[in-house]
Structure 1
């Protein structure tokens, strides 16, 4: 029989690992979960708690998140917030992002994905043209609901607040329910993330235009909630917006944010920095004599040559020594990081490239390469964006064809491999070197022909 001491210790461990807080009324459910998880590992309650507290146990933390999460949600929940998003927030952010043509939105505690897809639908409808990229990321600690989110198929109950015109435009009725349109699915990706942990890749400063974090803070300890608010504030772009649930409040003067009120909807905006006052320049001192830096072109060509010789680490060291800032150098740096297996840094380099130069087909292709190891669906989505942004780009077509072959979709493979074969003859030599995996034009063309032959097509 589990006693009060074990229950108290279990709650303390959950607070430490997940940042969750519990009311006295939650005791019955929490004790049941403790009993079930201990039994699942053939351990006593004390033995289970010792193991949970003694070392990192990521798989079990994911199981606990599934067992204890409250996951009920639906599309366009609290529709007044989506109205403000569409009418006020997104037009403002679109004007701010006109040079980059990218909108980034984050759903924290996304559960089974309805909120993330709702954000994508609203942002997709608001974007000025097809050349704008809408990127929505949904994060949650519950692995089970994330699997449901990636399936993108929902019951009619999940669409109970969805306007009929949106349901007709963005959902397809299937035998299993209602599936979100592929165009929206391609805008959204999901990641397992414990909000009690500061993940630098997720919380990059100034990254997101809009963050939704609704009805989550109330379940967190004050320390975890405070840390999460700080990270969300930091991750908002200047002028970006934070939406919380009706049960959450940051007060009227939250640090780093300004409160906005629209009708009966409260939300928060990260203010843009005020321009610094002009200063009278100080007298100039004679600059110290330094050796002239190597011309940028020389640095790039030397690093590129090292990459051709498979000397990736040396090439990266050379680039970093000269602080790459141009788009060619940023792309080369991202490819080198991917070759060295430093995928999180490679993804960050690709996003930085888009921050500097706006929608960039090579950056999206690099993201696809990074995602092939962990999520083929996300990789295919990035390749589709690369091919859309540059219809003459052969490499994403080739990769999409190979992914289709890998999952046994011969018809889909042919759709991509045939144009890839034609485009490879005119593909830029530098792109082949960057993304060909060490293979030249002839080898890639042979590979494309071989794969088409395997699909029953004689090229």
Structure 2
């Protein structure tokens, strides 16, 4: 028999380690888990609690997360939220990201992966062309459900609210079950993460266009819940969308977010970043002259901002002589006419340049694909080691249905990406690094039926 004092201590430790809170109706399950975990280690309940309290015990915290969490879910759960995502959020985001062609989505408390794959399917369906990059990150503290998520295979019960057309297009039979097709699986990654802790890589500012965090906040303590909401708000891009569970509410005026209503559901949008607040005048002191920033310093700063997808800030910081970076940033921000003029000015003053021709190709993709291909061909001719024009030509060939031509370009791009210059990847990778771009090449090669 577990004493009330032991049970109270266990719940306090769970709040500290996992950030979870428990109702009195959960006492039976909590006591059962406490007894089972102490028995599994062959120690008394008191010894178990002492060990849990005394030091970091990551593997045991993971076991507790699995034993205590509720993991039942299914594809396209709460269809009204996915309708808002499909009909309102994604069309706005796609228009805003026309220059970048990248969408990033985040499933917080993803359980066995149905929500993350639902987000991926919805986003891939919404993209206007195969050259768009979709990434979905799913996080959960329960290692066992993440193992099932990575397997991407589900029973018919998990697809009970999935339209038949969607089932035929995005799933394949796996015995009596269904497996998510590789095109979707390749866009999703799963990470073991305890939301009671921070992770600067996961919660990078302005990283995600859409965050789903449904039916999780109600299980968290007030402090952990507030910290998580702040992290999610900070991690959204300007104008990004946050969807919570129907039992979760942030009130009518959440900090940094706008409350929205549509199609019978509530969601939130990230406010545009406000201008920095004025700072008081410094005290009169003897000034120490800082080292003047060099052109190289400024260029490094711009590349750093681009790595963080902070394109507007990077454009504001770009130096007057860094014309290529200015043109790339204008294209990233959808200001294609200005970007095109910048590329032409580079060519007028500096002669044939692979980077300038590539930038011109990016500017032409939306209005004239043939001109874009011509510019990419010239960029690849001028610099045979330049991976990105080969990648773009491969994607455009896929769009035309030329799988053989696409495979040739994508194979070349995949090899060139191995040695591509890091700074060039920052400039022309659309916010994605070597690994993500290589994965895109492999995915498109699979779609072409090419062997590598």
TM-score by length of 1: 0.65
Q: Name which of 313, 321, 324 aligns with 2:300.
A: 324
Higher RCO structure (Cα 8 Å, ≥6 apart) = 2
CA distance in 2: counterparts of 1:50 and 1:325, whole angstroms: 49
**Which residue does the alignment assign to 1:186?**
186
Secondary structure at the counterpart of residue 300 of structure 2 = coil
Ranges in structure 2 where 5+ consecutive residues have no aligned partner: 278-286, 308-327, 333-385, 393-406, 424-452
CA distance in 2: counterparts of 1:30 and 1:208, whole angstroms: 35
Q: Report how far residue 276 of structure 1 moved.
A: 8.9
Q: Deviations over 1:4-24 (max 9, x none)?
A: 110000000000000101111
Q: Report how far residue 236 of structure 1 moved.
A: 0.8
Secondary structure at the counterpart of residue 258 of structure 1 = strand
CA distance in 2: counterparts of 1:114 and 1:57, whole angstroms: 29
Q: Report how far residue 144 of structure 1 moved.
A: 0.2
Q: Report how far residue 325 of structure 1 moved.
A: 4.1
Q: Deviations over 1:315-365 (max 9, x none)?
A: xxxxxx77614659989xxxxxxxxxxxxxxxxxxxxxx99986xxxxxxx
Ranges in structure 1 where 5+ consecutive residues have no aligned partner: 278-286, 297-320, 332-353, 359-386, 394-414, 435-459
**Which residue does the alignment assign to 2:35?**
35
Q: 1:322–1:264: structure 2 CA closer, same or farther, 3 Å change rule?
A: closer
Q: Is the 8 A contact 1:100 1:355 kept in 2?
A: no
Q: 1:357–1:22: structure 2 CA closer, same or farther, 3 Å change rule?
A: farther
Q: 1:173–1:329: structure 2 CA closer, same or farther, 3 Å change rule?
A: same
Q: Report how far residue 290 of structure 1 moved.
A: 7.8
**Which residue does the alignment assign to 1:340?**
none
- Structure 1 residues 34-433: aligned runs within 5 Å: 34-175=34-175, 177-273=177-273, 296=296, 324-325=300-301, 391=390, 427=416, 431=420
Q: Deviations over 1:409-438 (max 9, x none)?
A: xxxxxx99xx67x986xx59963999xxxx
**RMSD of aligned Cα (Å):** 3.5
CA distance in 2: counterparts of 1:219 and 1:166, whole angstroms: 32
Q: Is the 8 A contact 1:327 1:356 kept in 2?
A: no
Q: 1:428–1:45: structure 2 CA closer, same or farther, 3 Å change rule?
A: closer
CA distance in 2: counterparts of 1:355 and 1:225, whole angstroms: 36
Q: 1:428–1:9: structure 2 CA closer, same or farther, 3 Å change rule?
A: closer
CA distance in 1: counterparts of 2:102 and 2:245, whole angstroms: 26
TM-score by length of 2: 0.66
